[in-house]
């Protein structure tokens, strides 16, 4: 077999697979499970931060910070659930839109900062 024939069934130019040739296999399932793990970790962080903040008594600032922490957790939960549903719908899910990715990152970072502020 010649060199040109070896890459003939491999997809696009230079033997690289194209998007149409890609077999996602279990990748969408792994990604869906990663979103679930991240949501669970965020839940644990939010609960522990609220618990630590309210353990010594509730001041107005602590209550507001706890409310913000919970709101950020709910926002991240909504973004994650939307992505989990999208991944479960099809074997070839669409890429994560930039808007959703930005929202997920901002919620996660803000939740971490808020939780750290509550604990410290």
Per-residue pLDDT for the chain (120 aa), expressed as one digit of tens each? 444 444 444 445 566 656 555 556 778 888 889 999 989 988 888 888 788 777 877 788 888 888 888 888 899 999 999 988 888 887 777 888 899 999 989 988 988 888 787 777
How far is the C-alpha of 53 from the C-alpha of 59, rounded, in Å? 9
Residues with Cβ within 8 Å of 31's Cβ and at least 6 positions away in sequence, in order, are 87
Confidence (pTM): 0.68
How far is the C-alpha of 84 from the C-alpha of 35, rounded, in Å? 7
With vertex at residue 70, the alpha carbon angle to CA 101 and CA 51, rounded to the nearest 5 degrees, is: 130
How far is the C-alpha of 87 from the C-alpha of 27, rounded, in Å? 10
């Amino acid at each position: 077999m010649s060199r040109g024939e070896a890459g003939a069934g491999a997809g696009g130019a230079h033997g690289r697979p194209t998007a149409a040739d890609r077999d996602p296999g279990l990748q969408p399932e792994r990604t869906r499970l990663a979103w679930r793990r991240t949501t669970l970790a965020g839940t644990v962080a939010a609960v522990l931060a609220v618990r630590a903040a309210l353990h010594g008594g509730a001041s107005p600032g602590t209550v507001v910070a706890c409310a913000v922490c919970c709101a950020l957790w709910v926002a991240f939960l909504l973004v994650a659930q939307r992505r989990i549903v999208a991944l479960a719908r099809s074997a070839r899910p669409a890429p994560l839109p930039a808007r959703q990715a930005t929202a997920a990152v901002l919620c996660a970072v803000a939740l971490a900062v808020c939780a750290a502020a509550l604990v410290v």
